[in-house]
Chain A
Amino acid sequence: KNQVEQSPQSLIILEGKNCTLQCNYTVSPFSNLRWYKQDTGRGPVSLTIMTFSENTKSNGRYTATLDADTKQSSLHITASQLSDSASYICVVSIQTGANNLFFGTGTRLTVIP
C-alpha cells in the first residue's frame, strides 16, 4: 500500500535552533518527492522537489535529503525563525496513473522566541 508517514507530528523549538523533520514512504514506482510548507490558513507552498537521482536539495535555510534505497527523506531547517512556524508536508509521486500524489499528514513546527 502506498503510504507516506511523517515524524514527529509536532515539534517546538527555540528561535535560532536547527531542526530535522522526517518522511518515510512506501510509494512505488517512485517519481519524485517534494516538501511543502503550509502556513496556518494558507495553501501549501512548494519548498523542494527531488527526483530519484538527487540526494540533497536546498532552498535557502531549508535542505532536503533523499535516500531512495531506504525510502526516507528529511527536511533540515537551519537557524530557525519565527516565520518558520508552519506545517511541513511531504508528498511522494509515482510514475504511473493520474491520481499519483501521496500526501503525508504533516509535521506542525512551532518556533518560539
Chain B
Amino acid sequence: NAGVTQTPKFQVLKTGQSMTLQCAQDMNHEYMSWYRQDPGMGLRLIHYSVGAGITDQGEVPNGYNVSRSTTEDFPLRLLSAAPSQTSVYFCASSKQGQAKSPEYFGPGTRLTVT
C-alpha cells in the first residue's frame, strides 16, 4: 500500500491565484482530514470528511474548499491564495474517525504565497 499520498510536494503561488492540493489514500479509510502546520503552533484542522459525499468544516476553514466524490480522494482547493495561507499542509486518513483510531498522514505540501 502507498498509504496517503499528496501532490505537489512544493508549490509557490502569487496572491489571488487558485490551486488544488491533491490527496489520495489506498487503505479504504472512511475518514479523511486536511491540516495546516505553522511554526510554533499545533496542527490545525481545516476540513474533514467522514465518507464519500460528506464534508464538514474544522477549526480554520476560511479560504479553503473540499469535496469527497470517492473514498480514495480528498482534494483541498484554495480559492484565492493569500500570504496567510503560507504553510505546510497535511492530509490524513483514519479507519474509524479521528478520536477512535490512529491517523495516517501524508508527506505534506509546502505552500508559499507571495
Contact = CB atoms under 8 A, between A and B. Distances in A.
B4 A43 contact: yes
Q: How large is the interface on B (under 10, 10 to 19, 20 to 34, 35 or more residues)?
A: 20 to 34
B107 interface: yes
Chain A interface main SS type: strand
B3 to A, nearest CB: 9
Contacts of A103: 42-44
B107 A43 contact: yes
Size class of the contact patch on chain A? 20 to 34
A42 B96 CA distance: 23
Interface string B85-114: 000001010000111101111111000000
Among B45, B50, B56, the most chain A Cβ lie within 10 Å of the Cβ of: B45
Interface of A: 4, 31-32, 34, 41-46, 49, 89, 93-95, 98-106
12 contacts: A31-B100, A43-B92, A44-B43, A44-B90, A45-B105, A93-B99, A98-B56, A98-B98, A100-B98, A101-B99, A105-B41, A105-B42
